[in-house]
Amino acid sequence: MLFRRIYQFMIVYGIFLGLLLAVKTGLSLSDYVIPGIPLILDTAGQVAGGFFKDVLDTLSVAILGQGISIFLAFFVGILGRRSSWAGSMIRVTAYNIQAYPIVALAPIIFILLGDGFLSRLLIAAMICYFPLLLSVLGVMAAPVTDIEHFYIATGRMRWHLEVKIRAFENLSKLTTVIAGSATLAMAGTIVAEFIAANAGIGYSIRIALYQSDLAAILTALFMIGIVISVYQGLLESLGEAVKAKWGSENKGALL
């Protein structure tokens, strides 16, 4: 699964680079506008080490922001799973707020908190929180009737058992959503760094943009793609391992 993620990204990046070079050749553009392969490789050799550290810095913030989002999404999702007025209010509020472009709030966050670590973390968490919340709400609010009916009829149903049943029956969906939210967290962190931060790969891309250094930007995009592909592959592998372990140990108990 990990290697599949990496080679899929390599294919997509290769197609993108090929199209870019086709435009360069078709319009006879100079290396200043679109760099050729030798210039890209030469630039990559010069900046790859620094960019790799920047990507890891960005990834560390994204992982922390994603962790906060996952915790909050499950907390609110569990509270909003009921068909009561409060549960309905939580779901409607989540749907309405999700429709707002959260990234538009980034400048306000930088004005209030400055351009340090906290701003990057908050924006990363906000970007991936609402898609996570909607998915978790959808899972937690959908009863698994066949299984839950037995516990309700025997008077053994408790809230934590209800949550456990619904999470187990939708574990593949939750794993996919969490792995997908890694991309959102990474994108949110990069956007925060690009706008006003002074660290991370987003900041390096902003510097390269000011210098019109497209070769450095292409190198940064390659590094981001490789790192996030590895991270997502690890998340998916972890989800499969948890599913297998949970299924062998607890499914019998639930049933």
158 with 254: CB under 8 angstroms? no
Query: What is the torsion angle, in degrees rounded to the nearest 10, for the CA atoms of residue 81, residue 135, residue 58 and residue 61?
Result: 10
Q: How far apart are CA 236 and CA 246, in angstroms?
A: 15
Give the rounded distance of the alpha carbon of 80 from its chain centre. 23
153 with 97: CB under 8 angstroms? no
Residue spans of the domains in the chain: they are 1-16+37-244
201 with 193: CB under 8 angstroms? yes
Q: Print burial letters for 154-188: b (CB count within 10 Å at least 16), e (below 16).
A: eeeeeeeebbebbbbbbbeebbebbbbbbbbbbbb
Please give the full DSSP string across 57-71, using - where no structure is assigned: HHHHHHHHHHHHHHH
pTM over 0.75: yes
CB burial of residue 223 (10 Å; 0-12, 13-18, 19+): buried
33 with 24: CB under 8 angstroms? yes
Cβ–Cβ contacts within 10 Å for residue 255, how many? Answer: 9
* Fold (topology level) of 1-16+37-244: MetI-like fold (1.10.3720)
pLDDT at 87 over 80: no
Dig out the tokens for 213 from the structure: 């250094």
**pLDDT for the residue 250:** 59
Q: How far apart are CA 152 and CA 182, in angstroms?
A: 37
128 with 184: CB under 8 angstroms? yes
**pLDDT for the residue 19:** 92
The H-assigned helical ranges of 117-213 are 117-140, 145-153, 159-169, 171-195, 201-210
pLDDT in tens, 71-80: 988 888 888 7
Maximum mean pLDDT: which of 60-69, 164-173, 179-188, 230-239: 60-69
pLDDT at 254 over 90: no
pLDDT in tens, 3-47: 788 888 899 999 999 999 999 888 888 888 888 889 999 999 999
